[in-house]
Structure 1
């Protein structure tokens, strides 16, 4: 019995030593793996330089093919220099917040892009200027109107660019709601001007100021001659419509119908989606107004083909985001590369540095297709804007 007890203690001791050794090894392995893995925050940290990765869409004949920043094929230009009745004016909402002005002398938050250093205020105005630059290169006869807060100390001294102050609530939490109000007010003034002094037709394209127009957009009005409003869509069940690009034909009837359409969107936004007034509410309201119409077939948002629909008396043409609102890496077509006939690149969210870098690259190369390779290869990374 004593021999058995001694043997039992011996076996128990060996088991205990093995268990402790195993636990120590696991703990050491876990500690080493933590040291080798970058912290989670570091993985999500925005970079302060462009990172060029493989360009999506390789091997697809209708997509841009790239070798680094060199395009192996070329984008298809719309060639719409003629056959369009009327001129084009781009309209965007932009304001300067008091907090931005306070950062003018704050060097600690400066960001360097190329040879330039920007504070928070400088970054915003630099993006606005790049937005104008792309329009003036691609559509040099077009004008730009900036809807802004009357109390904003904004100054843009550029040919073909003008400020249009509109009273309203321009705080960050209300800016998207105010944007629709500003669009409606602007359309009302255009309608009044046309009734008093009929002029040549001017079509309007309302956009975010973080887009790059890379092809002539006048063909929208040539290829779709009967619409009042043009919206861009993507294959997204909850938010199929993006409000960053809205085109309005310049006839009195179309401007009136566009105003009434946006008034309905504003009503829905203010009642159903007011809690999302900082962002997304406008897109949710757009989708509700469109999809709530009887017999509207929302399955058409799943195919990147333009289509038209009457929405409460407004003739709306729906244009695919993959061509008129392409976003790296979000939006329609992102996993299949960039279509060769993409006309607008939207630098949403954390892609603002990429917009400035793209303009710098274009300025040195003057090759749109090569610049698009830079965007395509860099678009999946978050940057420091």
Structure 2
């Protein structure tokens, strides 16, 4: 009887010997399918350029692009990019309407290098190096490459403008470029306080310009405060020419929690414009310091900026849902609100809604790991005499949903 019960148990378990391996095969197949369907879950960032389909195809007010004879999602080297073309051209102003505009525009950015990173570069290991095109960069060189690319784009799109770099006096920053000036401002430029210091540096700079105004009557110079990871791809003089009554301008997007982006702030260079902009930023700094210090490394300035604007009972926040410029009086300042879609467009990273690039885009903002894409796009534009700004924008558009290694 015992022998019979033993064989019975064996016969009952026998089907499992065939079912279990099959079950593991199904699980593995399902796992592999998910890897192919969601590649970014297993490799979040890429160290090479990836082109995919251009979003916005068929929309009349979006850039249309084509990569001739190249399959989608191909890994590209610049030596083989020969068929990337814009099928329609972006609406570059070329100062057509503002040809009589005589005021000089200064771009102002905050940038510093950390002396500890300078000494650390001698001990760089291969894992800390990043290669873009034929050039390898350590962390310091990578930051300087971004700064120089920022300058390059401005000098192509607005060659008569000037660039001012606000920096820590203790920094060993040196930039030998024409029409570029280093402007040291004392402060705390540590990584944890850099966004807070940026507002303080802007205020100190505006105070210095107000002091110059009180001493002598210089020609009017307008100022555009930006992050250093942007590419100016069209003339921005139209802001001051087409909207002659604003004191400062900020960019907005349809985002309930963070509707304003602090990476682009334009200031009219009249004495009253400088004064109102300074007072406005002082109010933002006050709110930042009292309410958002827990977000001092990131986003605190944007949250404070939104609070200052949206706290007014008369302000209509629904206007942020429409990508159209508008003026409003905010705490005594005439503030121009410009749509991010044109003046602060950011390539979407990873998944999400993405409706392409507007034809009239003027500023591309390479936030976060998109900085590799910033260097790659400049290399593409600079490597060929036949490549136009529109073609370069197609490179950005077709690469914008990929996460890169910066």
The answer, yes or no, to whether TM exceeds 0.5 is yes
Q: Distance in 2 between matches of 1:10 and 1:206?
A: 83
CA gap of 1:334–1:163, structure 2 versus 1, over 3 A, is: farther
**RCO higher in 1 or 2 (8 Å CA, sep ≥ 6)?**
1
Q: What SS does the aligned partner of 1:25 have?
A: helix
Where does residue 267 of structure 2 map in the other structure?
A: 248
Question: Larger deviation: 290-299 or 93-102?
Answer: 93-102
- For the residues of structure 1 that align with 2:232 and 2:29, how far apart are their CA atoms? 49
Q: Residue 306 of structure 1 corresponds to which residue in structure 2?
A: 325
- 1:104 matches 2:121: yes
Asked if the contact 2:349/2:403 (under 8 Å) is kept, the reply is: no
1:196 aligns to what?
Answer: 215
Specify every segment of 5 or more residues in structure 2 that has no aligned partner in the other structure, as ranges. Answer: 68-83
Partners of 1:196 and 1:217 lie apart in 2 by 29
SS at match of 2:62: coil
Pairing 1:60–2:79 present: no
Q: Which moved more, 1:212-221 or 1:9-18?
A: 9-18
Cα distance, 1:101 vs structure 2: 1.1
Partner of 1:321: 340
SS at match of 2:263: strand
Aligned runs of 1:346-357 on 2, under 5 Å?
Answer: 346-357=365-376
Contact 1:328-1:379 at 8 Å conserved across structures: yes
Q: Which runs of 4+ in 1 moved over 6 A?
A: 8-12, 39-42
Distance in 2 separating the partners of 1:32 and 1:124: 43
Q: Structure 1's 199 and 284: CA in aligned 2 closer, same or farther, altered over 3 A?
A: same
1:74 alignment partner, one of 80, 89, 101: 89
Q: How does 1:1-385 map to 2 (within 5 A)?
A: 14-31=11-28, 33-34=30-31, 38=35, 43-68=42-67, 69-80=84-95, 81-105=98-122, 106-108=124-126, 109-329=128-348, 335-365=354-384, 366-385=387-406
Q: Is the 8 A contact 2:188 2:194 kept in 1?
A: yes
Contact 2:62 2:356 in 1 (8 A): yes
Q: Equivalents in 1 of 2:272, 2:25: separation in Å? A: 74
CA offsets per residue over residues 332-379 of structure 1, 9 Å max, x none?
Answer: x97111111000000001111111111111112341000000000011
Unaligned runs of 5+ in 1: none
CA apart distance, 1:132: 0.3
Change beyond 3 A, Cα 1:200–1:264: same
TM-score by length of 1: 0.93
What do the CA deviations read for 1:59-111 (whole angstroms, capped 9, x no partner)?
01111100022100101012325233511000000000134213422142221
SS in 2 for 1:135: helix
Q: 1:202, 1:111 → 2: CA distance?
A: 38
* Distance change in 2, residues 1:371/1:340 (3 Å): same
User: Following TM superposition, by how much is the alpha carbon of 1:129 offset from its aligned partner in structure 2, in angstroms?
Assistant: 0.3
Conserved in 1, the CA contact under 8 Å of 2:165 and 2:183? yes
Contact 2:111 2:166 survives alignment (8 Å): yes
Root-mean-square deviation (CA, aligned residues, Å) is: 2.3
Conserved 8 A contact 2:51-2:398:
yes
Q: Deviations over 1:214-273 (max 9, x none)?
A: 000000001111000100001100000000000000000010000000000001111100
Deviation at 1:34, TM superposition (A): 4.7
Moved more, 231-240 or 98-107: 98-107
Q: Secondary structure at the match of 2:49?
A: coil
**Aligned residues, how many?**
380
1:325/1:334 CA distance change after superposition, 3 Å: farther
